[in-house]
């Protein structure tokens, strides 16, 4: 096993465990949690199944929704389903529930910060997204719907169901929605493994450029045919084709 792969696997496990533990901290703060955790709380209240195990079960069910949208899970996806809820249950066991406002705020803030770092760790390992994020990106890729619309519809839906089932919606839920995005934009670049990041950047760049290059080739073909059909000289045709190619590079 190479040093790079060993680091990626270690970072993945640490990130997933820290992610679940951070969820446990925010739950014990008692001032509201993320939409998916509100759902897990509500299901837990009605079934008697511990919160952590419900989180794993929901993750597994969400993963099944990948099948019709033809989304392929990675190692990180599968481990996410198994480890996040388990480590959340560890957090619930080790971290006492808080009932004073300042200690609730501190615990929630600590959990949110840890979750942002954990997100950077496990995503930076590049073993695939979690089941929930993968569902959103898979729907976006399959149907072309904007990712923010897909995310908003899904998270509002699970939040509403969780709240109706008795999950804890509060100021923490709002804080999570507003702050988690800016926090992970800081942690993800910092914690991404450089070699993996360069490979990901290259593949993304190719995915962006390939359609543009195909379009340029088609434009060249059309220009050439138009010049020939109009009886233009070969010099003019070559000049227009070169101009089209240069324009595409810019």
Residue 112 shares a structural domain with residue 228: no
Across all residues in the chain, what is the average pLDDT?
Answer: 83
Q: Is 165 helix (H, G, I), strand (E, B) or coil?
A: coil
Residue 158 shares a structural domain with residue 85: yes
**Alpha carbon distance 228, 37 (integer Å):** 65
As a whole number, mean pLDDT of residues 2-26 equals 95
Residue 123 lies in a domain: yes
Dihedral class, residue 49 (left if φ above 0, else alpha if ψ from -120 to 50, else beta): beta
Output the CA–CA distances (angstroms, integers) from residue 98 to 31, 104, 121, in the order listed. 9, 5, 28
Residue 166 shares a structural domain with residue 224: no
Residue 197 lies in a domain: no
Closest CA to 91 of 168, 172, 23, 167: 23
Residue 52 shares a structural domain with residue 89: yes
Does the pLDDT at position 165 exceed 90? yes
pLDDT of amino acid 196:
60
State the pTM of this model.
0.77
Residue 202 lies in a domain: no
Identify the burial level of 110 via C-beta atoms within 10 angstroms of its C-beta, where 0-12 means exposed, 13-18 middle and 19 or more buried. Answer: middle
pLDDT of amino acid 249:
37
Indicate the pLDDT class of residue 221, thresholds 50, 70 and 90: low
As a whole number, mean pLDDT of residues 55-63 equals 97
Residue 24 shares a structural domain with residue 73: yes
Percent of the chain surpassing pLDDT 90: 72
Residue 150 shares a structural domain with residue 231: no
């Amino acid at each position: 096993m190479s040093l790079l792969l060993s680091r990626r696997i270690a970072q993945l496990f640490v990130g997933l465990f820290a992610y679940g533990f951070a969820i446990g901290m925010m739950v014990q703060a008692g001032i509201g949690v993320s939409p998916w955790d509100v759902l897990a709380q509500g299901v837990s209240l009605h079934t008697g199944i511990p919160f952590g195990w419900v989180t794993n079960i929901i993750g597994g069910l969400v993963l099944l929704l990948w099948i019709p949208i033809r989304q392929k899970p990675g190692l990180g996806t599968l481990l996410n389903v198994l480890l996040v809820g388990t480590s959340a249950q560890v957090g619930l066991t080790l971290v006492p529930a808080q009932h004073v406002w300042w200690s609730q705020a501190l615990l929630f803030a600590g959990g949110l910060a840890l979750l942002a770092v954990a997100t950077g760790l496990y995503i930076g390992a590049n073993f695939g997204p979690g089941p929930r994020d993968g569902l959103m990106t898979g729907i976006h890729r399959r149907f072309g719907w904007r990712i923010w619309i897909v995310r908003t519809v899904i998270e509002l839906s699970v939040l509403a169901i969780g709240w109706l089932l008795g999950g804890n919606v509060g100021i923490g839920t709002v804080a999570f929605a507003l702050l988690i995005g800016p926090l992970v934009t800081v942690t993800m670049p910092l914690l991404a493994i450089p070699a993996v990041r360069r490979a990901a950047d290259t593949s993304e760049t190719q995915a962006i450029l390939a359609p543009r290059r195909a379009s340029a080739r088609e434009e060249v073909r059309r220009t050439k045919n138009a010049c020939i059909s109009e009886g233009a000289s070969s010099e003019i045709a070559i000049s227009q084709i070169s101009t089209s190619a240069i324009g595409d590079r810019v």
